[in-house]
Structure 1
Amino acid sequence: MTTFDKREEGFEKKFAMDEEQKFKAMARRNRLLGLWAAEQLGMSGDAATAYAKEIVAADFEQPGENDLVHKVMRDLAAKGVAITDAQLHVKMDELLVQAVQQVKAGT
């Protein structure tokens, strides 16, 4: 194996690790969002955990996060919780920062 091949293999491994961490961080963010939304909806315990799992699953329905945003917005509106799309996106950004820190820390 040449030096170039070794270097290319190293870059490929790093790319794969980075992508895996991004995936884990997004899944963690979605779980945290689900727990936050469950709290807004008055849920706790097993109901909150089950709702968080629904939110994580909702993100896999279609590419992008629109399906996730629509589900949370619909659920909050149905319970009379007033939140704008922009406010939800700010919360998602905050939770992503928290999720990235947790994934890096291995928690």
Structure 2
Amino acid sequence: MSQFDDRAKGQEAKFAFDAETKFKAEARRNKLLGIWAAELLGHTGEAATAYAAEVVASDFEEAGDEDVFRKVSGDIKAKGLDIGDDLIRQKMLQLKQTANEQVASEG
């Protein structure tokens, strides 16, 4: 029975590690997206950092990525910029891969 318990604990630890890694990568992607959008919106310095934090916080509204997308897309449209939704979604995918690589390299 000890082997079974050890195996179960190992699986639980892996599940917890994978969940934490996914959370970190999503938060990193949202921060990178916020920095990208802040630049488009003309924010610099502390204003850009604050905007990136707003984007990260917007992810807690609902499950999935739509809350983050709506935040960034809405702000870009409110500014009157000609940036399509497809480009924003493409950037989100690109930054997700970047964030996954960064989190993985950090160990």
Q: Assess same fold via TM > 0.5.
A: yes
Structure 2: runs of 5 or more not aligned: none
Stretches of 4+ aligned residues off by more than 4 angstroms: none
Which residue does the alignment assign to 1:46? 46
Deviation string, structure 1 residues 27-79 (Cα, Å, up to 9, x no partner)? 00000000000001111110000000000001101222212111111110111
Which residue does the alignment assign to 2:92? 92
- Matched position secondary structure for 2:61: coil
Which residue does the alignment assign to 1:8? 8
Distance in 2 (alpha carbons) for counterparts of 1:97 and 1:63:
19
Count how many residue pairs are aligned between Structure 1 and Structure 2. Answer: 107
Distance in 2 (alpha carbons) for counterparts of 1:7 and 1:67:
38
Distance in 1 (alpha carbons) for counterparts of 2:17 and 2:63:
21
Identity %: 53
Aligned-CA RMSD value? 1.3
Which residue does the alignment assign to 1:102? 102
Distance in 1 (alpha carbons) for counterparts of 2:20 and 2:101:
14
Distance in 2 (alpha carbons) for counterparts of 1:92 and 1:52:
14
Which residue does the alignment assign to 1:21? 21
Distance in 2 (alpha carbons) for counterparts of 1:63 and 1:3:
36
Deviation string, structure 1 residues 2-29 (Cα, Å, up to 9, x no partner)? 1111111101101110110000000000
Distance in 2 (alpha carbons) for counterparts of 1:74 and 1:6:
49
Q: Match for 2:20: what amino acid?
A: E
- Matched position secondary structure for 1:36: helix
Distance in 2 (alpha carbons) for counterparts of 1:79 and 1:43:
12
Structure 1: runs of 5 or more not aligned: none
